[in-house]
Structure 1
Amino acid sequence: MRSGRIVGMEALLRWQSPELGLVPPLQFIPVAEESNLINAIGMWVLDKACATLRAWLDAGLPVVPIAVNVAASQFSDQGMDQLVRATLERHGVEPRLLELELTESLSMENPEASIELMRRLNATGIGMSIDDFGTGYSNLSYLKRFPVHKLKIDQSFTRGLTSDPEDRSIVTAVIRMAHSLGLCAIAEGVETEGQLRVLAAEGCDEIQGYYFSRPLPEQAMVAMLERGLRMDLAPLAPSVRRRTVLLVDDEPQVLSTFRKVLDGRGYDVMTAHGVAEAYELLAGHEVGVVISDQELLGHTGIDFFQRIKRMYPRTVRVLMTADISPANLADAINKGAIYKFVAKPWQDEAMVALLASAFAHYERL
């Protein structure tokens, strides 16, 4: 997240069957586990990863570590450290170029035995990470004893990062906990610029996901390494503070009219056709004032404001509604979700005056 460099890869299984076509791992891995083939597959993947590293080193490529996922039955084999060491030696690969990813639930099946095996693996010089963190049943008293180097935040939390206050709180907490334990925090499943910006603001160390690259076949990965491809960090550059206002409405004509009213008045105007788009814009920009219609597709403006009040407490929230009944307005005011409201359709000069007042309030906070 600081240099944009590729710092690692993860080995993923894809089965291209001549009869069935592309069979995803979610289908064939459970079958492999039930038929006791998972250990053989796991060792094949480990061997293939080390062989690939050796070939790339021989070709003079700027190689980065490859991470390999470990199945529960593999990890229960107390001789695994010897198998890993033998595989590295067979291919002449330095241990620092191999990482093992362990799920937290796998690590907790027999914590004391896991810790002992992890220590022996750690002594070989390989890297280790806890994968899908937050979805298992970790006991923190054991976690602090695990000789791992990284915590990978599960993509189920990353997915809701820009729209769900609870997911954002969990991600923030995991990043801080990882750093307090001297570990690197990696967010999985990063797909949008909004997610990237939030993770950068929270101090996340590394990201993995479609935002940078989808999974690639071997030759495409070679080409990426040869080019020295980096992630564009321009979205994370500090921006000059502007008066940025966001209007959320599901009527395109309303959004267009709003832009025309504010044209040339010194505001950065953003518009969103629904809350999903709004969450991304809020995550990616410092928005001072948000104006939202009360009636949105599948949502209400008040519900939307209650969420962003928790995630962006400084943002000034203005409700736009055709229903100015006391009951409706009291609901919004009592929940503390809004600064003011404006009747719909609005009067242009009244809207301009309201925005001036809202930004003056924002800049005093």
Structure 2
Amino acid sequence: MRLVIFFLTVLLIFTTSINAQSEYEELICPDLSNGEESSQEGGRFKPSENDAGEYFRALIVFVQFQDDERTNTNWPLDELPNWADDFIDDEVLSTYTDSTFSDYWDEMSQDNYDFIGDVYPDLVILGDEEDYDNDPTANYFDCNVDVFDSIEINVDWSDYDNWEFDDDEFVFTEGDADGYVDMIIMIYRDPDTWFTRFVPYGENFTAIASLGSENYNYITHDSLTIRFAANTVSTIGSGITYRLGLRGHLNSIETMAHEFGHYLFGGGHTNYGGIMGGKTYALSGWELNKLGYVAWTVADQDGYTITLGDMITDADLLKIPISGTQTFYLVENHQRLSSYDQIMRGGTQNGGYDWTTTAGSGIYIWLITSGA
């Protein structure tokens, strides 16, 4: 009984700071529908792990409008951002480059997911943003189509057709899977809110796990399909659109993890914590378990004792069931041994991100109300 009282007390302490803000601006992301039925173990609409010799490869494209005049030290006008080469590794490595999207997923997955990619070598410069804004029917869909018109002849799209969903599992076939491009990430500098028109519940979004607000198949020169799934995540959906690239490198990693999370978990959001609820940068314990990255230990008797290691580096989690319900407590030990473990509540950080300190480390306890 004393153990349960202790857990409840800590839970109340940490939930008092639930509205703490990060140093980054709020992520605005619309809920999406979930598309067709798909895998419920591991990634739902895209694979969340791979075997040796396999990988998940994406194409990253940086985009600017011709009339953009804003200066930014991290993304100079008419050039790729200075962090473009640091966003993702382009090959499978035993140790990925620190602070890349590849390193992030390698660490979250306990070395079980090789998410690699290629950065399109040139900045894509579209026409004047004012012209798009003045077209009452235009939004991000039209921009992405124009980007593909500009680059598609220069890309071997088979490099990005490596996975298909077949008989309730993801199957890797290098360069010749299902005829659909697996993943394209479009990163724009910072277009105005016209860019987000016609997106249900998503006006003024930061990013979206979609390439367009219309169902549309873009056929490439080598006869592959880039699927624009309208406000829907699905196994054949082909991409992510990020509107606010001027926020910089580390914010882009966090935002892309969230948007790709829609392909792993579905179209909705959790109410707090993890990549689908925000404010923690790393995946939450519930998310790590759902994707098969970390198995939890269940406290199934009175007086249960456990030495709980760090959640990220030791892959430890403790689940405390509440008898007769699907609700449970999830206990996470955050010693902040991983640079991506940015969960901090109260104290000097008050929910901010800081890669230079271990402040905020300790035991965090979440009440999970929707079952396992």
TM-score (norm 1): 0.27
Higher relative contact order (CA closer than 8 Å, sequence separation 6+): 2
Higher-Rg structure is: 1
Q: Considering fraction of residues, name the structure with more helix.
A: 1
